[in-house]
Amino acid sequence: MSHPWRAAFITPSVRTGGEGSVRAPYLRREFTVGAGLRRATLSVSALGLIEAYLNGTRVGDEVLTPGWTSYQHRLVVSSHDVTDLMTAGGNALGAVLGEGWAVGRLTWEADCRAVWADRPAAFLQLDLDYGDRIETLGTDGSWRASTGAGLTDGIYDGESYDARLEPTGWAEPGFDDAAWSAVEVVQRDLDTLVAPMAPPIRRIEELPAREIITTPSGRTVVDFGQNLAGWVRLTVSGTAGTTITLRYAETLVAGEADFRTNRTALATDRYTLRGDGPETWEPRFTFHGFRYVQVEDWPGPLDRDALTAVVVHSDLRRTGWFETSDELVNQWHRNVVWSMRDNFVGLPTDSPQRDERLGWTGDINVFGQTAAFLYDVTGVLGSWLADLAAEQREKGGVPFFVPDPRGRADPTTALWGDVAVSLPWTLYEEYGDRDVLARQYPSMTAFVDGVERLLDDSGLWNSGFQFGDWLAPDAPTTNPSGGGTDARLIATAAFCRTTRQLERTAEVLGHDADAARYRALHERVRAAFHHEWVSPAGRLANETVTAYALAICFDIFDPAQLPRAGRRLADLVAAAGYRISTGFAGTPFVAHALSRTGSLRTAYRLMLQTERPSFLYPVTMGATTVWERWDAILPDGTLTETAASSLNHYALGAAADWLHRVVGGLSPAEPGYRRVRVAPAPGGGLTHATLTHDTRWGRMRVGWRRGAEGRMTVEVSLPPGTSAQVILPEHPENLTDDVGAGSHRWEYDIPVPTRGAYTLDTPVSTLADDPAVWSAVDAVLRKRVPGYTGSEPGDGEPSLPTLRALLNFYSPPGLEQDLVDALSGTHT
């Protein structure tokens, strides 16, 4: 910021709490305003968290200010027009401070606290514009300090507040602060102060209590019906000195609030009543991830109206909506949206409830494309990438999470570290803004150049630690990176993608020599991958769903190899019973890889599976957010016993991108959506889907409906200045139409397959693509084949490629004729 700062960071000269805790400092200063004031601007920041007050009124509606950035490099300053709060004559400026991320404890490591400051410190500057002059009042050594009702506060552990200790009128002029203590100036490089790039954190929504539960043990638990990030506001009457305790939890187990997903985070708020009638209170320097709140020592009966959940996150603008005829899919998509909201509290985090809440690079790398569809994330992710670049320069590599409070370098990893390349490219594709590429270009090249030095002589990334296919279902609970997909394959495949993205970035920015160099590097790595992992026919030496999904989506296979690779991927998905077998690395890509290689039905069966592990299994268990593990809650309602079982973790929600681009059918044909591709692909028994997306050009909408009478309707709406190539699904003439801005509609009959054209030797995958035929076949198999549940035979499953193959080893009397009748449409 080029602002002429005349303020300093200040903190009480006397410690305001015991060892390991800091009572919330209160700071104040009175001043005089003369006649002729035109404008008053208050700039606010802190080491820790801050609430500013002017003449007794809270300034602004931001919370958890100044948010969390890489404080040693960038500390955000908020500015507020406070002209209407000023009065001629005496005025008072005040602030309350909290520990926040700068002072409080962070991560699961016991000694990780006070990373950026040992005490909270305030920074305020009030500029008074009189037209002919500007007078400035800033925090300095003349301010006074004390404490009030805030006893303790911490991001992880919660807040304790004794209302009896709140000094009345402390932020108003005329208050007697003679007993207050002096302050001291904290040395801080003011060149690190920056204007906000991201929208502020605010109270976004309020949810009423849905139910008050008396648990089997007799405890009182309030259910708000939605897992969320924020806190509870209470309104209560009772005896002075009564302390109410609120303990936050994500789930109930055996009818009791279960706090294990919080790990060591206490997630507890305490309020002590002043006892003078109805009192309303909510915390100011903490937040929690919760659906349930256990209430202790409430005075008298507890009414639902007494507690309100306050949803808190960055004030992002919603830009994407999606809905289908399947309510389970709709709920899963809502879960993805909620998990994104709950994990964008200032920056993209992994979870809002436990002793972590960190900006993990791998999580936002896989989720970035989905995030950019659902909300305008230019500011919040642009700010986070600026922090990443700063810490990357400092540490010599991309940390596992940003900001990084640990002060040590991490090994370079695929899919985590390469967020430095992939996320800027994702933002460019979404918004068409070259500036993000220009700003991040040094970071992008530094990452790729660093990995190039790690390659072996053949061009493979075979050294160092890798996260692999993190949290794949086949990974041991004690080793989340130990799934069946070789971590070295994942690393080299990911580097194929990032080298290609960097080559294209260099082309966009006009760095032709760099583009040629990174093109050559990409070809070298791709050739090495082929030599090590790909057979000439298109099979992989490491045959897993994740391996094939990455190699297909990262354009590693040669065109002639793709059909075989796609069939093999479909075989593997079918062999797994259409259940999930992928972790962080494979999940965002598997459905895309299937639909790109002609196995759309397999992709639908995978996405619509409800048996665990699957996308929809958590929905059937009542989930309202995305889980970190596919089976974080077991069918009997108990928690999976592992440290990584967050119930609010957006990473695996990255597969929603397939819903947007394939089911909804909208994708950018060029960066920024000026020209788009509209190609919805109905399937899975869905009868309609609607997608809406607000782009830089305006709102786009795609909708399709398959009528019971076999008629397809497709509607497309485009804003001015845009155009689309529309590929109409199931059109009898395979029609593709080019259209411009405006509303467009197509309606046509879906071709009806000729019955009787199928035989026992027709591939099962072909039969399954005809809903009427497969319904008849499925009914016969369910009736005549013991143990058949509808999960097999599947498309492309090697053991049962045809119905003839079934009859070769199981042929009770009458089964063959029933199947023939089903194929001809005569079976009853």
Catalytic residues: 356, 628
Q: How far apart are CA 493 and CA 461, in angstroms?
A: 9
> What does the alpha-carbon distance between residue 337 and residue 318 come to, in Å, rounded to a whole number?
10
Question: Chain centroid to CA 808: how far?
Answer: 49
3-state secondary structure of 437: helix
d(CA 780, CA 782): 5
Q: CB under 8 Å to 506, separation ≥6 — which residues?
A: 512, 514, 515, 518
Distances (CA, A) of 697 to 202, 430, 432, 449, 672: 27, 11, 11, 36, 8
Q: Rounded to an integer, what distance in angstroms lies between the CA atom of residue 539 and that of residue 688?
A: 36
CA separation, residue 825 to residues 705, 765, 794, 805 (Å): 26, 18, 21, 21
Phi, psi of 772 (to 5 degrees): -65, -45
Q: Which residues sit opposite 19 in a β-bridge?
A: none
The Cα angle at residue 367 between residues 364 and 371, in degrees rounded to 5:
100
Token pair of 741, please? 């801005």
The dihedral through the CA atoms of 270, 273, 274, 276 has a sign that is positive
Q: 332 near 225, Cβ under 8 Å?
A: no
Q: Which two tokens stand for residue 215?
A: 């648990």
Distances (CA, A) of 510 to 382, 434, 574: 22, 11, 45
Cβ 771 vs Cβ 550: under 8 Å: no
Count CA atoms within 13 Å of residue 321 on its CB side.
Answer: 11
Instruction: Say if CB 525 and CB 554 are below 8 A apart.
Output: no
With CA atoms as reference, report the closest residue to 101 among 156, 159, 158, 21: 156
DSSP 209-250: --EEEE-TTS-EEEEEEEEEEEEEEEEE---TT-EEEEEEES
The single-letter code of the amino acid at 621 is M
650 closest CA partner among 623, 671, 611? 623
